[in-house]
Amino acid sequence: MSTWLSNAWYVAAWDREVDSRPLARTICGVPMMFYRKLDRGIVAMRDACPHRLLPLSMGLREGDSIRCRYHGLKLGPDGVAEEMPLRSEKANKGICAEVFAVVERYRFVWVWVGEKEKADPALIPDLWPCSAKGWRFDGGYFEIASDYRLAVDNLMDLTHETYVHTGSIGQPEILHAPIETFVKGEQVFVRRWMPGVEAPPFWAEALRKQGQVDRWQICQFMLPCAVIIDVGVAPVGAGATVEQHDQGVRGFVIDVMTPQDETSHHYFWGMARNFDIDDDGFTARFRQQQGGVFLQDKEVLEARQRAIEANPHMKLSAYNIDEGGTRARQIIARAIKVQRQQPETEGAAK
């Protein structure tokens, strides 16, 4: 039984990672490969040749097709055989590699691993700041050797910033601001509203103004596994509220986790912002800086995974700060349970 939801869209790659050469990546335990056709559309196929299972990602591209590098079986972008190893043999259309539904949205490549007929693009989580007009989005990718749910715990609890990210984004005031956690449908929110605080240097610079600001941090969890964090400041008196705050400068920390297997995941991270959007230097510097911060999280998550495996008799404890992560895990667990109870899904969940 898997710890993830099968009938869901998962990010497989950044759009820029997929090109004409196949990219191999295991998504929710399924080895897949991705490539772009001549019209730039994306093919997602099981990364195993139907003949003797050599990974197709090692194959050779021919037009929109892929030719296996072992005995030369040629498959079209729909996965169906176009040429047999023995050219004198007629292509058997019954030979085919599994293909997966794939959609490009918000600068990411999303793939559906579950029952194909349920792959509705409307179910892709709403990451609007990643492609909205007036916003700039960029980021990176890490492979992390931990259960993807450890990343959810981490992102829904920003108190860790003080100790894990000392010297970068950690700030004692975060420990003192009260938090409010609530669930709305299948989403979890953890809100911190910090009215009338001194603008931290990063935000003062973005705002081009020193002095007192209202500051917010709002973590939002979405199925199957994204956490976006609405952060920013507005000058005191500008009318910003915890619900509505476009009066100052605003950013969204974007975190999307895709299980690779039970003990590792793909982490796609970035920042979407609505200030200095044409400043490429800022974008590049910020990406570098953010990558450095997230490497500190990677170290912690991987160490936690090792400790969990080394201490099988111990359970994770949940204190007040863990409420957001706990609720998000409950929503994942409930969605998996509901999916399992649907009779037609039997056998589809790993």
* Residues at the site binding ligand FES, with contacts judged by CB under 6 A: 49, 51-52, 54, 68, 70-73, 85
Least CB distance from residue 335 to ligand FES, whole Å? 37
CB contact at 8 A, 199 and 209: yes
Which lies closer to ligand FES via its Cβ, residue 79 or residue 125?
Answer: 79
Residue 209's binding partner out of ligand FES, Fe ion, none, with CB under 5 to 8 Å set by partner kind: none
- Are the beta carbons of 234 and 214 closer than 8 angstroms? yes
Q: What is the per-residue DSSP string for 44-64?
A: EEESS-TTT---GGGSEEETT
Which CB, 289 or 345, lies closer to Fe ion? 289
Whichever of 70 and 142 has its CB closer to ligand FES, that residue is 70
CB of 262 to ligand FES, least distance (A): 28
CA distance 216 to 209: 17
Q: Which is nearer to ligand FES, 95 or 277 (CB)?
A: 95
> Residue 102 CB, nearest distance to ligand FES (Å)?
22
Smallest gap from residue 103 Cβ to Fe ion (A)? 29
Q: Dig out the tokens for 331 from the structure.
A: 């929503």
Rounded CA separation 201/210 (Å): 8
Nearest to 154 by CA among 227, 62, 101: 227
Buried b (16+ CB within 10 A) or exposed e, 93-124: eebbbebbbbbebbbbbbbbbbbeebbeeeeb
- From first CA to last CA, the distance across the chain in angstroms is 6
Q: 301 vs 336, which CB is nearer to Fe ion?
A: 301
User: What minimum distance in Å lies between the beta carbon of 89 and ligand FES?
Assistant: 12
Binding residues for Fe ion, total number by CB under 5 A: 1
297-336 residues in contact with Fe ion (CB under 5 A) are 297
How far is it, in rounded angstroms, from Cα 27 to Cα 124? 16
User: Residue 70 binds what, of Fe ion, ligand FES, none (CB under 5 to 8 Å, by partner type)?
Assistant: ligand FES
297 binds, among ligand FES, Fe ion, none (CB under 5 to 8 A by kind): Fe ion
Please report how close the Cβ of residue 105 comes to ligand FES at its closest, in angstroms: 32
Q: Can you tell me the distance from the alpha carbon of 171 to that of 163, in angstroms, rounded to the nearest whole number?
A: 9
Which of Fe ion, ligand FES, none does residue 135 bind to, with CB < 5 to 8 Å depending on kind? none
What is the arrangement of strands in the sheet containing 60-62, beginning at the earlier edge strand? 60-62, 65-67, 74-75, 81-83
Site for Fe ion in 264-303 (CB under 5 A): 297
Closest CB to ligand FES among 71 and 176? 71
Could you tell me if 127 and 250 are in contact, meaning their C-beta atoms sit under 8 angstroms apart? Answer: no
Tokens 């917010």 -> residue: 216
Pick 56 or 226: Cβ nearer ligand FES: 56
* Closest approach of ligand FES to the CB of residue 50, in Å: 7
Residue closest to Fe ion (Cβ): 297
Contact positions toward Fe ion, by CB under 5 A?
Answer: 297
